[in-house]
Amino acid sequence: MNMEFNADNPFVQAIAVSTTLAIFMIGVAMGIMNLAETGSPSVPFPIILLMFAVIFIAGSVYFEDRGADYLGSLIGGAIASFVATFSATAFFTGIRYAMAEGISTVGWGHLISALAICMVVSMLIIRTLQHKLQSAY
């Protein structure tokens, strides 16, 4: 029997994207749990500042290219940078927490249930965004 991996298959794409987003969501959730528990991220502060700066510059340029005025592009870049930096910091903190003690603390049953719920939620988000973007353009 010849089993081939076909990346053009929409079922494979949907499962891959929703699983990736679900793992990211679980990582962020575990990172927020660890941040609430310990009060400090596992990512060094200079790295957090560097992430913020790079995303702020990219976000400001992106919003300026989309027609935002000077102040609007700076505010948009700051908001995008804050959200992306917080998400990335929480994700990497969550991965470190999961590898250390988080999986045993949460338990495999809860982790698998969270993965399933996050896969469904991420699929709903993806389809909603696809519908909104198709109707907008």
- Summarised one tens digit per residue, pLDDT across range 77-119 is 999 999 999 999 999 999 999 888 877 787 888 889 999 999 9
Per domain, the residue ranges of the chain are 30-106, 107-136
Residue 136 confidence (pLDDT) above 80: no
Concatenated DSSP letters of 23-34 = HHHHHHHHHHHH
Residues 80, 69, 64, CA angle at the centre, nearest 5°? 55
- Summarised one tens digit per residue, pLDDT across range 2-25 is 556 666 777 888 888 899 999 999
pLDDT at 104: 79
